[in-house]
Structure 1
């Protein structure tokens, strides 16, 4: 029974204007010595990797004791009068997902009902969190408001949801081995958006990308499930899920350079800009030059490297979960192609994948989901 406060299961009136979802590697550099101070500084990759290890261990404890790695879902607790409300809560989450993530929603329909509903609940919480700093009321959001949102998160993990949409997620985290840390880390990413508009190097940007997008991968793996025939370690699958989140967010950043600049934000490594002979002023002016093209080529190459890493893990997911993830991966990769097609003008042109290309990608994503260990990269090499 909830004792912290009186909670109501009420339909939340989400501010649902169109928005961009914010939407890793295994550790590339772990610990570096700081020559100016006699201390050891942990890199962002190591910090994130420690979270990955914790999440993988949690899933291992739940799943490795059985022959199959796919999740044996706990049944809903039959409290009189609540199951119908819970069903309504999940249905509402599905409606939001269908309206604002149409392609992904179609993919979720191939999942089992339990997994489908859980992914809807996760999507809606992530969307609501993102809209706190990127939605119509973003100008009124303070650090205190985010603290309250985190307190509310802790309540729903304790089985005390505040409203109907929280109830769906509360039920989901009770049924799957999902830890609270990635959720808290996503909220931390929102805090970064309130206080930070520049990133000195990729190490700083990597941590931000993990907070706002890599976390989604860590949260989703226990629901997606790992294929029973997979020989990959849980840690490997988590690393690939993290890589997909990082790749998607880097793609968002490269697509939205002009839009972010008009808000006074530059989500690009400052040291790499300087090495390319560029500055914030060049971005604010918004002129495509050879320097900018060369800089963008390197940024796009990095994003594609993360997508390549993500491919390995998608192939290890349970068969019913692969299609929506493949669809997301392939469509986001195409945004990078569109940036190139626009001659790297992401100042005044927004790269987007046409509806025709989206529909063409779906059957290919489905075909890939049916071929367990074959990825686009491996097929290209065959």
Structure 2
């Protein structure tokens, strides 16, 4: 799975096949990662026009349709994904959910309320955890629900630490109604002004995200062996970033909170103690 540092960076909530992951899982996890990362980059990287980005994502959906129909995909990337779908019973709909979120990144840059934002996370983040549970053979209603909580929280952590970066892309993931409630304007985000109103807004976001992360955290102890250990690292890493947001007074404009080398020993120790 992702290290704590990787779990809150771009592509922020997708575990890759690290050396801690049991060898039998590395190839299928890597295949899904490369599919998701490639599609995400089509939506988010470079200087292509929106129409070109959407056309490229439509080609991705066409490859998924071939997999769904039992046909051979046209590209090696999707041929590898097809093997994962076949061997682990991964629903193709989960992959299409990711593509729908990437298309939304092209066409939508503001979110009216938290419900709208969570709906985006349901498609941009939650499918990741669900796909992994299929690969690990750990699918159950309870596991799926906890995974959704963790993945949504990881996505939100990334949003809160990346407010300034997203602004440069004309994206604001803070819900519009909550900006208004706390008296924060987009002009203030543009100016990078941290005042009491901004701190109240961000404290609310961080506290809510921390509760979501905590609610899903028992999954890390429910999953066996190294899989559970990596998930504990990821959860603790995300929680540490939230702590850094608190400690820094939510000034994400001058200091993006990330994990450093000094954070790792404590995170690893805590993850190991909870085994």
TM-score, reference length from structure 1: 0.65
Q: In the alignment, is the contact (CA less than 8 A) between 2:44 and 2:106 conserved in 1?
A: no
Equivalent residue, structure 2, for 1:262: 168
Distance in 1 between the 2:269 and 2:27 partners?
A: 23
| Residue aligning to 1:283 | 189
- Judged with a 3 Å threshold, the aligned counterparts in structure 2 of structure 1 residues 259 and 177 are, in CA distance, closer, same or farther, namely same
**For 1:249, which of 155, 158, 172 is the aligned residue?**
155
Deviation at 1:195, TM superposition (A): 1.0
- What is the deviation of 1:137? 5.2
DSSP-derived class of the 2:217 partner: helix
1:171 equivalent in alignment to 2:83: yes
For 2:232 and 2:47, the matched residues in 1 are separated by: 33
Candidates 340, 357, 370, aligned match of 2:263: 357
Which residue number in structure 2 is paired with residue 145 of structure 1? 56
Per-residue CA deviations over 1:166-222 (Å, capped at 9, x if unaligned) read: 232211111112101111111110111111111000010001112111110111111
Secondary structure of the structure 2 residue equivalent to 1:106: coil
Change (3 A) 1:142 1:130: closer
Q: Could you tell me how far 1:255 is from its partner in structure 2?
A: 0.3
CA distance in 2, matches of 1:143, 1:312: 38
* Deviation of 1:341 (Å): 2.3
1:252 and 1:341 map into 2 onto residues whose CA distance is: 17
- TM-score, normalising length: structure 2: 0.89
* Structure 1 residues 354 and 225, CA gap change in structure 2 (3 angstroms): same
Q: For this pair of structures, how many residues does the alignment match? A: 265
Distance 1:213 1:153 in 2: 18
The equivalent position to 1:20 in structure 2, one of 1, 4, 10, is 10
Residue 124 (str. 1) matches residue 124 (str. 2): no
Structure 2 residue aligned with 1:11? none
Q: 8 Å contact 2:44–2:105 — kept in the other structure?
A: no
Instruction: Tell me the alpha carbon deviations over residues 298-322 of structure 1, each in whole angstroms, 9 at most, x when there is no partner.
Output: 0001111111111122222233421
Q: State the match for 2:5 in structure 1.
A: none
2:4 corresponding residue in structure 1: none
Aligned to 1:271: 177
CA distance in 2, matches of 1:310, 1:202: 19
| CA drift at 1:359 | 4.4
CA–CA distance in structure 1, aligned partners of residues 144 and 197 of structure 2: 36
Over residues 125-159 of structure 1, what are the superposed CA-to-partner deviations in whole Å (9 max), with x where a residue is unaligned?
11112111222355564322211111112224425
Asked if 2 retains the 8 angstrom alpha-carbon contact of 1:225 and 1:318, the reply is no
SS at structure 2 position matched to 1:336:
helix
Partners of 1:144 and 1:164 in 2: CA distance: 19
Q: Does 321-330 or 283-292 show the bigger shift?
A: 321-330
Deviates more, 1:145-154 or 1:191-200: 145-154
RMSD of the alignment, in Å?
A: 2.1
Q: Distance in 2 between matches of 1:170 and 1:285?
A: 47
Residue pair 1:106, 1:324 contacting (<8 A) in 2 also: no
Structure 2 unaligned residues grouped into runs of 5+: 1-8
- Partners in 1 of 2:180 and 2:80 — Cα distance? 47
Aligned equivalents of 1:256, 1:272: Cα separation in 2: 17
Q: Once the two structures are superposed, what CA deviation does each residue of 1:102-122 show, in whole Å capped at 9, x if it has no partner?
A: 8x61331xx2x3322221212
